[in-house]
Structure 1
Amino acid sequence: MTPDPGSHAVTRPVTARRSGPLRGQIRAPGDKSVSHRALIFGLLACGTTEIAGLLEGADVLATARACAALGAKVDRLGEGRWRVEGVGVGALLAPTDTLDFGNSGTGARLMMGVVAGHPVTARFDGDASLRKRPMKRVLDPLALVGARVLESAEGGRLPLVLQGAREPLPVTYETPVPSAQVKSAVLLAGLAAPGETTVIEREATRDHTESMLAYFGADVRVVPEGAHGRRITLIGRPELRPAPVRVPADPSSAAFPLVAALLLKGSKLAIEGVMANPLRNGLVVTLREMGARIEVLDERREGGELVEDLVVQFSELAGVEVPAERAPSMIDEYPILAVAAANARGVTRMRGLSELKVKESDRLAAVADMLRAAGVEAQIEGDDLIVEGKGPGGVPGGGTVVTHMDHRIAMSGLVLGLATDAGMAVDDVAFIATSFPDFLPLMAGLGAEIG
């Protein structure tokens, strides 16, 4: 069913050295958030869903296996091309084996929502990193739906056994933290409940689940709530109809070659088909405020999502203050933004980063440690990260980045090394395969000195 997710995995330390200009034209891997959801909605639709551009990283492949374990027929037709024959809402099969999500918090949490609304019991597990990540934020609202945790590690962490509800209840739930995963889990559970399920979020988060619900035929309404929030209401028990999905390029993955091009003199890079969803474009907005030369060539819609082609050129960046309310639109991009800030003139302060503490690692601490290892002053004040920029070409480097099994820290550390005098070693890049399997060969093809 699935290709080998480790085809480009490297388990030895890797060093990135100061590089010349990056030049070329690329397409980043398919968006990870959309890829997970395309498979899940393929499972829940009655009939055959064709997917193009699916990210074939380890995280998404784990979700594909979980969909198959719950009753879907999942086939790979070619590179990025997949077919899912779904069973429909209410007709999941009980899995006979553990649903192992590896490093994927998104896959695990969204699938908990799916299981919670069905009368099946499933065991969830993952790697050492995922076992440390909090799950109660999802399990608490799913308990209101009627799901029960039969077994779990301390604090509701993985491994755990979740028993779905025999008669799922519609709920109205206000998310305590801005989290697209919590919102999505509640909505996915609500698909199997009668009546209206409502999620209220005080800060709007990425809206791929709502968009895909509507695209597959569900009755879902989204209205503003307060200054920055939204109220999402879903009518339960729809018959989801299969629909073709073209997955846009992932802005979180495109961020790494994009920032590398901004930092290396003489660089000019074209990036095709990048998702431009307003709830995902916080990094580009911030980089432009810093003085980045990022040009949009063609803005269009593909598969229900706004996409654009970008041309990126070397730029001299200046420090800025990034407001806390922007965090949900760029929560995965702060590590690479910190690399840009290290190479900017002046101070950059990134506010409201509490969610970084519960990612694949404590990303807030890991990012600060990464910058310090490169000779850049970085402080954490509460939930804020403050970076004293060294200016273009001013980062000394010479240290080692400790990744803590975090793919985004690994890629950020390599990009950082490309713009330093002494280079940077990264202790383990194997986990890059979770989101960007071809990162190393792609960067080498653009001219990056990594090896």
Structure 2
Amino acid sequence: MELVVNQIGLNGEIDIPSDKSISHRSIMFGAIANGKTTIKNFLRGDDCLSTLKAFQDLGVLIEDDGETITVHGKGISGLTQAKKAIDVGNSGTTIRLITGILAGTDFSTELFGDHSIAKRPMNRVMLPINQMGAECSGHDGTEFPPLTIKGTRTLKPIHYQMPVASAQVKSAILFAALQAQGESVIIEKEKTRDHTEDMIRQFGGEIAISGKEIRIKGPQKLTGQEINVPGDISSAAFFLVAGSIIENSRIILNNVGLNPTRTGILEVIEQMGGKLTVEETGNKENKAGKLIIETSDLKGIEIGGEIIPRLIDELPVIALLATQAQGTTIIRDAEELKVKETNRIDAVATELNKMGASIEPTDDGLIIHGKTPLHGAKVTSYGDHRIGMMLQIAALLVKSGTVELEKAEAISVSYPAFFDDLNKLYQ
């Protein structure tokens, strides 16, 4: 599709779509809890709908009246064997987290997804889950999907030092540990988003966290809850960057989730000299706020270490932000970008360089030289929603030529109304 180019003065307010991570987990926790869970403000994007459908396939009654989703949970033992293999679509969160839940069942399940999922490495989840006594295997003896998970009701606890900083891997182990016979200990490489830990407590479970060490005893019983999902900071990120780099802009973003394990992008914008105002509006369970972003003179910085897991999904659009900052920005310690929906390190460098950016990919990140004007080009999302949205924000800077985006449909995975919301800001 042809993208909108050559804009100045983005102004207006946007209600950010619901948080993808919390939407996924609200279905999962509701399905394995006892009693009714009601979910308001659920993200009805393709990925989260894959999770919803997966648990319906596993015998959970889930109702959606368009406003509220109601999950009728009967505990882990209430799950029943799916009649056929479960399709997770494009959702890495679904396939990795559900593996931990299925580890404690007394049946076998096959999981598969699209061509992108078929390339996602799964040993990082399968190895610890197998150590706990389940039997997980990939396609033809590889670590890649389709996966087969043969669960067991007698999962063993685990003491696990995480080799990668991954909230998905951690969450899969936590779901299994909730069902294990005894105390499990997980030690994170770096602290990653902690929605799973928060929701274990919210659903009445017990978990102890000290620095990077997590202790959890099993088996535990969870109880259904009411959940109101805040807006997704990963979706807000595209407008935070647009408001920073497009002349004469001022954008207000409402109801954005402000969980501290997810707010790395706000720190980066501030370090680069961005004009950002944060007004907190949420409560303890639902950390949220209003963000106001204005056009800014930005400077290059170095981004690495413990902040990376707190902005891993925002790095493609942060790279675009850096193309409009004076000086060099270095992103390092971001190897996880290689195993997202696509190799985001290579994808970001290749596509933005086509448009006139000056970006060098490295083994674990990017070196971005700014400030560079961008021009028209034919680009692709590689079927990756975050690359697609980043390229539309980049196109707004283009003064000459057109920008043609291949595989634009991938954007509906996390943000079906992205183009409609962006359209509200044009003068």
Bin of the TM-score, shorter chain as denominator length: over 0.9
Aligned: 1:279 with 2:261: yes
Give 1:60 shift.
Answer: 0.1
Corresponding residue of 1:447: 426
Q: Does 1:217 align with 2:204?
A: yes
Provide the residue aligned with 2:277 in structure 1: 295
**Closer, same or farther in 2 for the Cα pair 1:65/1:377, shift >3 Å?**
same
Q: 1:426 maps to which residue? A: 405
| 2:82 partner SS | coil
1:234 to 216, 221, 228: 216
Opposite residue 324 of structure 1, the aligned amino acid is G
Q: How does 1:111-150 map to 2 (within 5 A)?
A: 111-149=98-136
2:417 to 438, 441, 451: 438
Q: Give the secondary structure class of the aligned counterpart of 2:423.
A: helix
Change (3 A) 1:150 1:271: closer
CA displacement at 1:439 relative to structure 2: 0.3
| 1:151 Cα deviation from its structure 2 partner | 5.4
Q: Is the 8 A contact 1:14 1:429 kept in 2?
A: no
Superposed CA deviations along residues 143-164 of structure 1, whole A, max 9, x for unmatched, are 0111113552462211121111
**Shift of the alpha carbon at 1:89?**
2.6
Does residue 400 of the first structure (1) align with residue 374 of the second (2)? no
**In the alignment, does 2:367 pair up with 1:380?**
no
Task: Write the distance in 1 (CA, Å) between the matches of 2:62 and 2:177.
Answer: 24
Equivalent residue, structure 2, for 1:3: none
How far apart are the structure 1 equivalents of 2:375 and 2:111? 40
Deviations 1:172-217 (A, max 9, x none): 1111000011110011011111211221102100000000001101
Structure 2 contact 138–144 (Cα < 8 Å) conserved:
no
1:319-334 mapped onto 2 (5 Å cutoff): 319-334=300-315
Distance 2:148 2:2 in 1: 38
Any idea what SS the aligned residue of 1:409 has?
helix
Letter in 2 for 1:298: E
The higher-RCO structure (CA 8 Å, 6+ apart) is 1
| Aligned partners of 1:94 and 1:120 also within 8 Å | yes
Q: Is the Cα–Cα contact under 8 Å of residues 89 and 240 in structure 1 kept in the other structure?
A: no
Please list every run of 5 or more consecutive structure 1 residues that lacks an aligned counterpart in the other structure: 1-12, 225-229
1:413 is paired with a residue of what secondary structure? helix
Residue identity in the other structure for 2:7 = S
Counterpart residue number, 1:91: 78
Secondary structure of 1:67's aligned partner: helix
Q: 1:48 aligns with which of 36, 43, 48?
A: 36
Question: Gaps (5+ residues) in structure 2?
Answer: none
Aligned to 1:6: none
Worse overlay, 338-347 or 83-92: 83-92
CA distance in 1, matches of 2:140, 2:242: 40
Question: In structure 2, what is the equivalent of residue 227 of structure 1?
Answer: none
User: For residue 126 of structure 1, what is the amino acid of its counterpart?
Assistant: G
Amino acid at match of 1:360: E
Superposition deviation, residue 300 in structure 1? 2.8
Separation in 2, partners of 1:40, 1:310: 29
Tell which deviates more after alignment, 419-428 or 342-351. 419-428
1:73 pairs with 2:51? no
Any idea what SS the aligned residue of 1:311 has? strand
SS of the equivalent of 1:361 reads: coil
Q: 1:22 corresponds to which residue?
A: 10
Determine if the alignment matches structure 1 residue 413 to structure 2 residue 391: yes
CA distance in 2, matches of 1:417, 1:181: 32
Deviations 1:99-123 (CA, angstroms, capped at 9, x unpaired)? 1111100011000110012112111
Does structure 1 retain, via aligned residues, the 8 Å contact 2:191–2:306? no
- Whole-angstrom distance in 1 between the partners of 2:230 and 2:142: 36
Residue 268 of structure 1 deviates from its aligned partner by: 1.0
TM-score by length of 1: 0.92
For the 8 Å contact 1:124–1:161, the answer to whether it is kept is yes
Give, in whole Å, the separation in 1 of the partners of 2:104 and 2:215: 16
Match of residue 231 from structure 2: 249
Partner of 1:351: 332
Residues 389-444 of structure 1 deviation map (CA, whole Å, 9 limit, x = unaligned):
12xxx523211222111000000001001012235322121011110010011111
Off by >6 Å, runs of 4+ in structure 1: none
CA contact (8 A) 2:10 2:251 kept: yes
Identity between Structure 1 and Structure 2 (%): 37
CA distance in 2, matches of 1:179, 1:404: 22
1:164 aligns with 2:143: no
C-alpha distance in structure 2 between counterparts of 1:90 and 1:144, whole Å = 21
Quote the Cα distance in structure 2 between the aligned partners of 1:378 and 1:75: 47
* Counterpart pick for 1:269 among 251, 273, 289: 251
Provide Cα deviations, 1:68-106, integer angstroms capped at 9, x if missing partner.
112211111224x21100120333211112111111000
Q: What is the letter of the counterpart of residue 394 of structure 2? A: L
Per the alignment, residue 9 of structure 1 pairs with none
Distance in 2 (CA, whole Å) between partners of 1:297 and 1:275 is 11
Instruction: Measure the CA separation in 2 of the matches of 1:110 and 1:152.
Output: 18
Q: Which one-letter code corresponds to 2:231 in the other structure?
A: A
Letter in 1 for 2:34: C
CA shift, 1:381, in A, is 2.7
1:177 counterpart residue number: 164
Partner letter of residue 204 of structure 1? K
Residue of structure 2 equivalent to 1:7: none
The answer (yes or no) to whether the contact 1:416–1:424 under 8 Å persists in 2 is: no
**What does the per-residue CA deviation read over 1:261-309, in whole Å, with 9 as the maximum and x for residues that have no partner?**
111111111111111111101111001111111101234326x131111
Aligned residues: 426
